[in-house]
Chains A and B, each alone.
Chain A
Amino acid sequence: MAFLTLLAASAGASMLRLSPIDLLIIAIYFVVVLAIGFYLKKFAATGEDFFLAGRKMTAWIAGLSFISANLSSLETMGWSAMAYQYGMLGAHAYLIGAIPAILFLAIVMMPFYYISKTHSVPGYLQLRYGEGARSIAGISFSVMTIAVSGASMFAMAKILNLLLGWDMNISIWVASLTVAIYVTLGGLLSAIFNEVLQFFLIWLGSLLIPILGIIHAGGWHKMLAAIQKNVAVIHPGVQNADFTTLWRNLGSFDTNPMGIDWFGMVFGLGVAVSFGYWCTDFLQVQRVIVAKDLRSAQNGTLIGAMLKMLVPLIVTIPGLLGLAVLMNGDGSLMVLVAESDPRAGITHHTFNDVLPLLMSQYLGPGLLGLGVTAMIAGFMSGMAGNVSAFATVWTFDVYKPLIRKHASDRHYLQMGRWSSVVGILVSIATAYSLFFFSNILEYLQVLVFFFIVPLFGTVILGMLWKRATPAGGFWGFLIAIIFSISMWAFVHTFPDGYRPQPKAIISQGAVVHLEKGQEGDSEQITQISVESGSVDMVNVTIPGRQQDGAFIVTDASLDLAGADVTGQMHVLAPKVVLGNTQEAHKFGLEGVPLKLQPGVRVHSSTISKRFAPAAFNPDHAKIIARSEKAKPMAVNMYSAWWSLVVCLLVTVVVSLFTKRKPDEALKNLVMGLTPRPPETACPWYEKPLLWASVILVVLVAINILFW
C-alpha cells in the first residue's frame, strides 16, 4: 500500500478525483498481475516456454491476446480523439482498416508462419531471403519496440499526471518494475495472461461510457443530429464535412473532415497500413503463432477479427459523444483542440482528453477506479507486449545469429530474461529522454509507418512469389524504408520557412479588460485591452515596430486590430486579473482585436523553421496525398500506400535481374511449395473458412448500414 500513499499524496488539482475505493481497485490490479508473474515462473522453464509460451495456447486465449496487444490505452484514447476530430471515419480503423487484413493473415499467411515454425517475422525473412533482410528487420524492430515501449511509458506517466495529478516519476517506476517482474518471470505466457486480463478490464471499464452517453444524448439519432449541429462550432475549418457517415462523404476531398478520398482510404488504410500492421507486425503475429496447432492459430486470429469489429463501441462512439454531449459548466458547448493548438492545456482541453472527460462526467466512485485501472492495464500490457517481443527478436534475430550462434537452450532462456530487464531499463531511459525532447513523440508515432509497411511488401512477395530473390527482398525492403522516411521529411519541409500561427500570451497576473457584445444568442468578447503586465508576441506584425525585440508601450495605446493582424492571432491568457472585478480569469481566443495600454511591456519575436515535424507543408502534402486539404492522417495513409508500391516495384525489378533460390530451399516458405498439413476432422463450427466468410458478410453489412 506504500505506493498508494505516495500517489494519493502527490495528487493535486486534476481532471479526475479518485476516492479510496478507486485506489483500492487499482491496488488489487497490481497485486493480481504480480501474483500471476510469480505463479507462472515455474511454467517458463525452457526457451520454447519463455519465448513462445510453449506453443500451447487455445484459440480463444490466442485471439484475445492478439486483439488485446492492439487495444492499448494509447489506442483507445487516441482513436476516441480521432473520432472527435474526424467523426465516424475514425471507425474505418476497425473495419476496412483491419478486418480484411486479419482475415488474410488467418487464411493465407498463417500457414506459412506456422508451418515454417519460425520464432518471429524477422526469422521468416531469414529463412526466405537470408541474413541481410533479417538483420535490417531484427535491428529496426528491436529499436522500434523499445522506443515505442518508452514512449508508451512516458505517455502513461503524462496522462496519469494530467488526469490524476500523480507524480510522473512514480508512475514510470511503479509501472516499469511491475512489468519487468512479470515479464522476466513468466515471459510471453505472463504477457499473454495479462493481455487477456486487460481485455476484460478494458471492456468492463469502458462499455458503460457509450451506454450512458447515448442515453444522455437521447438516443442514437439525436446524438447524430447534435453532432451535425455542433461541428459547425467545434470544427469551423471543415464546415462542409459530414461527420456521421463512413463512405458517403469520401467522394471528394472537401466533404469529409480528414481531407481524404475513397482511394486513399481503401488503398492507403485498407491495404498498406492495415496489411502491414496486422500481417507483419511481430507484436501482433507473435500472439497467434504460439497457438497449439494451425487451426487454433487461424481461429484465434478470426476471433480477434470478430472482437475488433466491436471495438468502435468503446472507442469511436465516445469520440462521437464528445461532439454531442460535452458541455462547459455554464452550459455552453465544450470545444476541444489539437495538442498543437496554443490554447491546449491552458484554456481548452485537447482531443485526447475526450475519453477522460466522459469518464469524469459519468463514472462515480468505484466505476472511475475501474476505468482508470483499465487505462493503466492498457498501458502496462502494451509495454509488456513490446518488451516480450523485443526479448524474442533480440535473442533469436540479433544475438543468436550475429553474436553467439551455438549455445544451450538454457543460455538463450537466460538471455531472454536479461534482455527483458535491459529492454525495460532502455524503455525507462527513452521515457526520461522524452521529458527533455517531447517532440520526439512526433517521430515515434510515424516510426511504425516507416518500417512495417515495407516489411509487409517484402514478406508478402516472399510468400506468394517464388521468383523473389534474396537481393530483391533486401533492396526492396531497404529502399522502401528510405523512401518512406524521405516522404515524411518532405511533407514537414518548408523551403520558404514555416511561421507558426501568430500568438500573444498575456503574462500571469496581468490586468485585462474585456469588451463584450451580443452575437446571435450568445455574448462574445469583441476586444481585449491589457491594462498592465506584459505580453509575449510570436510572429505578430506590430505596426511601426521591428519584429524582434522588447519595448514598453508609451503615450498612446497600441492597437493590434485589422484582419491582417488579428485574423489568425491567438490571444492566450492562462491566468490574468479582470480590471473591473479583480477576479482571476483565463481565456484563449482567436481573431479578437488586442489593445495594449501605456506601460505594458511587450516582447516580440519571429519564428521561422525550414523543418517542422509538427506541421505539414500543404504544397508538399498535395503531391503525396493528392489534395492540399489532406489532414495528417490522410498524408500518413497515402505515404504508406506509396511506400508499399515502391517496395513491391523494387523487389520485383531487382528479383528479375538476380539469382533466385532453388525450389528445395523454399519448401514450406512459399505458396505452391508448401504442402498444407492434412486436415484433421473437426466439427463444422471450427472451420476457419466458414468463420472468415461470416466475418466478411458482417463487415459488408456494417459498412452498408453506416454508409
Chain B
Amino acid sequence: MIDHQENRLSIWFFIGAMVLVYGLLISGAGVYGWMNPPAPEVRVQLWPLHADVWWGMVLLVIGLFYTLKFWPKS
C-alpha cells in the first residue's frame, strides 16, 4: 500500500516488518529458554511466567497485521 506520495512505501509497512522480526526473535529466544532453563541464580524475576514467550507472540501478531495490511502493491 502506498502512503500519500505516489510509489512511496508506507511507514506502517516498515514498522510491521521490524516488529514481526522482533516478535520471531523474542518468542524464539523465550521458547529456547523454556526448553533449556538457565540456572536459577541467573533467572530474571517472575521467570516462571515466561513473559518473553507471550510478549514475543504479541509482537508477532502486531507485526504480522501491519506487514500484511500495508504490504507494497505494484
Contact = CB atoms under 8 A, between A and B. Distances in A.
B55 A364 contact: no
Given A21-B25, A43-B5, A200-B19, A367 B45 contact: no
B11 interface: yes
A265 interface: no
B54 to A, nearest CB: 10
B35 interface: no
B11 A193 contact: yes
B70 to A, nearest CB: 12
A29 B15 CA distance: 11
Interface string A362-375: 11111100100000
Given A212-B46, A362-B44, A362-B45, A367 B5 contact: no
Contacts, number: 81
Interface in A53-88: 54, 56-58, 61
A339 B4 CA distance: 47
A363 B21 CA distance: 18
A350 interface: no
Q: Interface SS of chain B: helix, strand, loop or mixed?
A: helix
Given A204-B59, A208-B55, A363-B44, A25 B11 contact: no
A13 to B, nearest CB: 15
Contacts of A24: 25
Interface in A157-203: 193, 196-197, 200
Most buried by A among B5, B28, B43: B5
A212 B47 CA distance: 10
Given A54-B5, A200-B15, A204-B19, A364 B47 contact: yes
A244 B3 CA distance: 45
The size bracket of the interface on B is 20 to 34
A216 interface: yes
Most buried by A among B11, B14, B19, B45: B11
Contacts of A43: 5, 8
Nearest to A327: B45
A39 B4 CA distance: 15
A366 B14 contact: no
Nearest to A199: B15
Nearest to A21: B29
Contact of B11 (A29, A54, A196, A362): A196
Given A43-B8, A367-B55, A212 B19 contact: no
A365 B29 contact: yes
A216 B4 CA distance: 45
B45 A212 contact: yes
A54 B5 CA distance: 9
A24 B29 CA distance: 12
B22 A28 contact: yes
A215 interface: yes
Interface string A466-500: 00000000000000000000000000000000000
Interface string B43-74: 11111010110011001001000000000000
Nearest to A325: B45
Contacts of A58: 4
A300 to B, nearest CB: 13
Interface of B: 4-5, 8-9, 11, 14-15, 18-19, 21-22, 25-26, 28-30, 33, 43-47, 49, 51-52, 55-56, 59, 62
17 contacts: A21-B29, A32-B18, A36-B14, A56-B5, A196-B11, A196-B15, A197-B18, A200-B19, A204-B62, A208-B51, A215-B49, A216-B46, A363-B44, A364-B30, A364-B47, A364-B51, A366-B26
Nearest 9 pairs between A and B by C-beta?
A366-B29, A366-B26, A56-B4, A364-B44, A21-B29, A361-B45, A193-B11, A367-B52, A365-B29
Given A197-B14, A204-B62, 18 more contacts: A24-B25, A29-B18, A43-B8, A61-B11, A193-B14, A200-B15, A200-B19, A204-B59, A212-B49, A212-B51, A215-B46, A364-B43, A364-B51, A365-B52, A366-B30, A366-B56, A367-B55, A370-B26
